[in-house]
Structure 1
Amino acid sequence: MYITITSQKLGGNYSQGSADFVDYLEKENQGLDPEDLSAGKVGREYFFNQYGNQISAEEVSREIDANTAKLEKTEPRFYSITVSPSKYELNRLQDSSKDLKKYTRELMKDYVASFNREINGRPVNIDDIKYFAKIEHQRSFKGTDKQVRENQPFASTIIQLKSDIQKVGRGELPGNITKMEREIHKLEKAAPHQQDGKRIVQGMPKQGNQSHIHIIVSRKDASNRFSLSPGSKYKASQVELNGKTVKRGFDRDKFFGKAEKTFDKSFGYQRNFVETYTARKEFIKNPKNYFSALMKLPTNEKAVAMKMLKESGMPLMPSIPTNKAQLALKVFNRLRRGVDIAIKSSSIGI
């Protein structure tokens, strides 16, 4: 489970309207008949919130953009929360759309509970926020994905060969076009990562269940009077404002931890050590403790953990010599330095 919270920004200022972002979230509905859903067909997804379904993109933009009282250009109008379950978590679901909608509504209760704020003398509750969510079922390979990165040397050579073929055709370069085309064919097949017999490239749709959740949540509360920012650098503190003591802060660690527990409880999911937000954070902050905890897992759980790490792109050794802990730790630390594994769950900003 990876959760990111980002504030939408264009250049030096934050987006003054939500239309572009909402339109982006409508991309999977392009070309689909609006009547598909009412006819019982699978495919079209609508926005929803805590109490409503089939909310139009126009209503989402209108509601979000009208809820920005007294916000400056230097302040975000809304935040985007993206929730990306792993394939193991998705396999636990019976119906991706239905189950993820149910989970979203529980997740947003965890979200409001993570604010150290009060409204009219009481804690923030789910009715105090204005949000809209959308389930998406497709993802494409990005340039940062392991498959694209490891295929890149082949891609670069293929691009160069195609360029040379054009030059040969124009008489600018000597060469055998047929031989070059055969070489391109060999490189296409030799690339280490393939999907449906084709070399994986940036922008190619990913196979399998890729369902995930996009949430757009207003910076202002539902009454348009109070600011609720998950981007606060404070977890929990108090400040004097106009002679009154005001609570402030948002505890991201609490939110991410509760989000996992809510999923596990909702769907009876048995979470492996390496899937936890706490473990991923420990990996970055204290790899020695992380490594020690990993080695102490029961055999079956450790085997699953190693499989998950390998699938995530971590180039772990085929077998770690547990009788040579110091050597293993050095190798692990070296791998850690060479692999770009971010704690996506703790990111906030652009």
Structure 2
Amino acid sequence: MYITVTAQKLGGDYSQSSAGFVEYLEKENQGLEQEDIEHFFNQYGDEINASEVVKEIDGNTSKLKKKEPKFYSITVSPSKHELRKLQNSGEDLKRYTRAIMKDYASAFNREINGKQVTVDDIKYYAKIEHQRTFKGTDNQVRENQPFATKILKLKNEIRQIKQGQQEGSIKRLESKINRLEKEAPHQQNGKRIVQGMNKEGNQSHIHIIVSRKDMSDSVSLSPGSKYKASDVMLDGKLVKRGFDRDSFFAKAEKTFDSTFSYKRNYAESYQSKKDFIKNPKRYFSTLLGLPTSEKAVAFKILGKAGVPLNSIPTNKVQLALKTIRYLKRGVDIAIKSGSIGI
């Protein structure tokens, strides 16, 4: 599971309207028949059109300053292992979205009219997408990059020959390009994987637009708060403030596991990412201490994410600091690319 919570920006400024983001999320609907269109939905409604989403989000921003986020984007990307557990990815992910938005609400240490924030206070709209593209940070793109660089250089030479700027055999250069295309280590359907290429297989994921203000447009609920859930005395009153992302991420993972009876391996857990960041030695020690079958699954997950498995120590004695630092770089890249972790 890979979850992000971000304020939407346009360049260096916060977006003043959700229209551009909503339009971006409509891209998969282009050219589809009416019955195939993927609509927006929220906690209690389905088949909500894009214009209503823009109207509701943009009209729920009273007293927010120009330099404050008007809405946030939550992206939820289940792994291939998790998606296989779903019976109907579209409907199951809708059900999961509605469940984790309860987790989202509970992560706020806030009260509205003396009551703890609930999902009924959250104005949000979600959409299921079924396509994902390769990013520049993906292992496949990075390892194919040297080949891409050589191919680009050869194509530039061909262009210069055609323009009469240099002499050479176009046929010979095209032959080199074809060879490099085939030699690139990562292929999909017989083609070299490049940034922007659609990923094959089930790529279903969730985009959620969340208003900064509550349903009544009177209370600011920011998941980007610099304060973790805490209570503080202000003007002689005890005030609740903050948003606990750690709690939200952990609950979202548990909600998926309980909803779909998913048996999560340590290597794909939120706890493993926290261990990796705070205590790499504990992370690798835990990996080595897993039962044989679970350890085999963990190594398979890490291997597919681009971690150099041939360098992972076989016993705890080998967990030298130098080795940990080397392995940490590999796992770090995998986490940043969204291959593992939250």
> Aligned match of 1:333 in 325, 335, 342?
325
> Aligned match of 2:124 in 131, 155, 167?
131
Do the aligned partners of 2:266 and 2:298 also contact (CA within 8 Å) in 1? Answer: yes
Do the aligned partners of 1:114 and 1:255 also contact (CA within 8 Å) in 2? Answer: yes
Q: Which amino acid aligns with 1:250?
A: F
Do the aligned partners of 1:232 and 1:249 also contact (CA within 8 Å) in 2? Answer: yes
Distance 2:225 2:19 in 1: 25
Distance 1:342 1:249 in 2: 26
Counterpart of 2:10 in structure 1 is 10
Q: CA deviation at 1:282?
A: 1.1
Do the aligned partners of 1:84 and 1:213 also contact (CA within 8 Å) in 2? Answer: yes
Deviations, residues 242-285 of structure 1 (Å, cap 9, x unaligned): 55332001111111000011000000000000111111121122
Between stretches 171-180 and 127-136, larger displacement belongs to 171-180
> Aligned match of 2:72 in 79, 84, 94?
79
Do the aligned partners of 2:229 and 2:243 also contact (CA within 8 Å) in 1? Answer: yes
> Aligned match of 1:175 in 168, 173, 185?
168
Distance 2:26 2:164 in 1: 47
Distance 1:212 1:164 in 2: 41
Distance 1:305 1:276 in 2: 10
Deviations, residues 35-55 of structure 1 (Å, cap 9, x unaligned): x2xxxxxx4210000000000
Distance 2:329 2:138 in 1: 17
Any idea what SS the aligned residue of 2:206 has?
A: strand
Any idea what SS the aligned residue of 2:75 has?
A: strand
The residue correspondences of 1:149-188 to structure 2 (distance < 5 A) are 149-188=142-181
Distance 1:138 1:323 in 2: 41
> Aligned match of 2:197 in 191, 204, 220?
204
The residue correspondences of 1:80-119 to structure 2 (distance < 5 A) are 80-119=73-112
In the superposition, relative to structure 1, how do residues 326 and 241 fare at CA in structure 2: closer, same or farther (>3 Å)? closer
Distance 1:309 1:346 in 2: 11
Unaligned runs of 5+ in 1: 37-42
Distance 2:312 2:107 in 1: 40
Q: CA deviation at 1:170?
A: 2.5
Q: Which amino acid aligns with 1:107?
A: I
Counterpart of 2:27 in structure 1 is 27
1:314 partnered with 2:307: yes
Do the aligned partners of 2:273 and 2:341 also contact (CA within 8 Å) in 1? Answer: no
Distance 2:270 2:105 in 1: 19
> Aligned match of 2:247 in 236, 241, 254?
254
Matched positions, count = 339
Q: CA deviation at 1:321?
A: 2.6
Deviations, residues 69-112 of structure 1 (Å, cap 9, x unaligned): 10001110000000000000000000000000000000000000
Distance 1:137 1:289 in 2: 36
Deviations, residues 97-132 of structure 1 (Å, cap 9, x unaligned): 000000000000000011100111110011111000
Deviations, residues 6-31 of structure 1 (Å, cap 9, x unaligned): 00112343111100001111110011
In the superposition, relative to structure 1, how do residues 276 and 319 fare at CA in structure 2: closer, same or farther (>3 Å)? closer
Give TM-score scaled by structure 1 length.
0.93
Q: Which amino acid aligns with 1:144?
A: T
Any idea what SS the aligned residue of 1:130 has?
A: strand
CA RMSD across the alignment: 1.8
Counterpart of 2:267 in structure 1 is 274
Q: CA deviation at 1:143?
A: 1.3
Any idea what SS the aligned residue of 1:219 has?
A: strand
Counterpart of 1:39 in structure 2 is none
Distance 2:268 2:341 in 1: 14
> Aligned match of 2:283 in 274, 286, 290?
290
Any idea what SS the aligned residue of 2:210 has?
A: strand
Distance 2:123 2:16 in 1: 17
Do the aligned partners of 1:151 and 1:192 also contact (CA within 8 Å) in 2? Answer: yes
Unaligned runs of 5+ in 2: none
Q: Which amino acid aligns with 2:230?
A: S
Deviations, residues 147-182 of structure 1 (Å, cap 9, x unaligned): 111111111111111111121223221211111111
Any idea what SS the aligned residue of 1:5 has?
A: strand
Q: Which amino acid aligns with 1:330?
A: K
Do the aligned partners of 2:288 and 2:316 also contact (CA within 8 Å) in 1? Answer: no
Do the aligned partners of 1:252 and 1:346 also contact (CA within 8 Å) in 2? Answer: no
